Amino acid sequence: MIDEPVNIPDDEFYDEGKPSITWRGALREIIQLVLIVVLVRVGMDTFMPRYIVDGASMQPNFHTSERVIVDRITMLLSGPSRGDVIVLESPRSDDDLLIKRVIGLPNETVVIRDGRVYIDGYLLDEPYVMEYCQYQSCNGEWELGPDEYFVLGDNRSHSLDSHSFGPVNESLIKGIARVRYWPPQDADILDAPDYE
């Protein structure tokens, strides 16, 4: 059986002399692209904002001008784990942001003696600390409430942290630092250390 040819009117063929996209169609495509870019940017700023490290409180692990991407989704779902590096609002100033490491979790007892941290009576092994704080002002004991975290800088002798202002409420935590992306030679994924 032979198929008969189908007759297609001439005006349905592509005309090389006419543009295939009108200026209105092109404008619509540009507007859609701009909207997608704006939505992606707003989504990233909402759930994965970027922050710049300022100060020496987290040395030798973080330095001034390094840039990190912060995870807000995990913060909303489960909160930070021990050892996570977080960005938080300063309990002493509404305009300041701090970057610290989570040491104590809700409902725990934190004791600092001779610069060493004990959680519920057990010594915390902290390989990221180069020098423990030996000042008397660093020592103390804190009972954490159900929504409180104890945070310390890795540079213990030069950090404004929970040994100065006490436990911080979960509502002050902006998110968990997950990626260091600047400078490029120091870029890496940030994981909490494994504690024994």
Residues belonging to the active site: 57, 100
CA-CA distance, 126 to 95, in Å (whole number)? Answer: 30
CA-CA distance, 47 to 33, in Å (whole number)? Answer: 21
CA-CA distance, 104 to 115, in Å (whole number)? Answer: 15
Is 81 in contact with 102 (CB distance < 8 Å)?
Answer: yes
Residue 172 phi, psi dihedral angles, 5° rounding: -85, -15
CB-neighbour burial class of residue 45 (10 A; exposed 0-12, middle 13-18, buried 19+): exposed
CA-CA distance, 95 to 28, in Å (whole number)? Answer: 41
Tell me the Cα Rg of the chain.
27
CA-CA distance, 141 to 163, in Å (whole number)? Answer: 9
* Three-state DSSP state, 2: coil
Length of the chain: 196
* Amino acid at the residue 187: A
